[in-house]
Amino acid sequence: MKQIVIDINGLDHGPQAYYEACSEFLIKHQDTSITLVGEISKLPIKNQVKNLILIDNSYKVFDPKNIRQNLKEPTSMNQAIQMLVEGKADGIISGGDSGMYISALTLKAGRLQGTLRPAFMPIISALNGKKVLLLDVGANLEVKAEYLYQWAKLAQIFSQKMFKVQSPKITLLNIGTEEYKGLEHTKEAAKLLLADDSLNYVGFSESRELLRANYDIALVDGYGGNLILKSYEGAILSFKDAIKESALKRIRTKLGALLLKPTFKEIMQKLDYRNSGAAWILGVAKPALKIHGSSDKLAILYALDQMHKALDTNLITDLQGVQNGKI
Binding site for its own copies (CB under 8 A): 65, 127, 138, 141-142, 173, 175, 178, 180, 182-183, 206-212, 222-224, 226-228, 230-239, 241-243, 246-247, 250, 252-253, 255-264, 266-267, 270-271
Least distance to its own copies from the beta carbon of 315, Å?
28
Least distance to its own copies from the beta carbon of 208, Å?
3
Residue 146 CA to residue 21 CA, distance in Å, equals 39
Least distance to its own copies from the beta carbon of 279, Å?
14
* Greatest C-alpha distance within the chain: 64
Say if residue 255 is exposed, middle or buried (CB neighbours under 10 Å; 0-12, 13-18, 19+). Answer: exposed
Listed in order, strand segments (DSSP E) in 106-241 are 119-125, 131-135, 169-174, 200-206, 217-219
Which is nearer to its own copies, 59 or 232 (by Cβ)?
232
Which is nearer to its own copies, 109 or 227 (by Cβ)?
227
Which is nearer to its own copies, 173 or 310 (by Cβ)?
173
Least distance to its own copies from the beta carbon of 283, Å?
19
3-state percent helix, strand, coil for the chain, nearest multiple of 5: 45, 20, 35
* Residues paired with residue 124 on neighbouring β-strands, in sequence order: 132
Which residues lie closer than 8 Å to 319 by C-beta, 6 or more apart?
Answer: 112, 154, 157, 158, 282
Which is nearer to its own copies, 48 or 263 (by Cβ)?
263
Which is nearer to its own copies, 31 or 266 (by Cβ)?
266
Q: Are 208 and 214 in contact (CB under 8 A)?
A: no
Least distance to its own copies from the beta carbon of 164, Å?
25
Say if residue 263 is exposed, middle or buried (CB neighbours under 10 Å; 0-12, 13-18, 19+). Answer: exposed
Which is nearer to its own copies, 162 or 281 (by Cβ)?
281
243, amino acid identity: I
Least distance to its own copies from the beta carbon of 74, Å?
24
Which is nearer to its own copies, 112 or 219 (by Cβ)?
219
Least distance to its own copies from the beta carbon of 229, Å?
8
DSSP 105: I
Between the two ends of the chain, the Cα-to-Cα distance in Å is 27
Which is nearer to its own copies, 78 or 205 (by Cβ)?
205
Least distance to its own copies from the beta carbon of 261, Å?
8
Residue 33 CA to residue 26 CA, distance in Å, equals 7
DSSP 72-102: TS--HHHHHHHHHHTTS-SEEEE-S-HHHHH
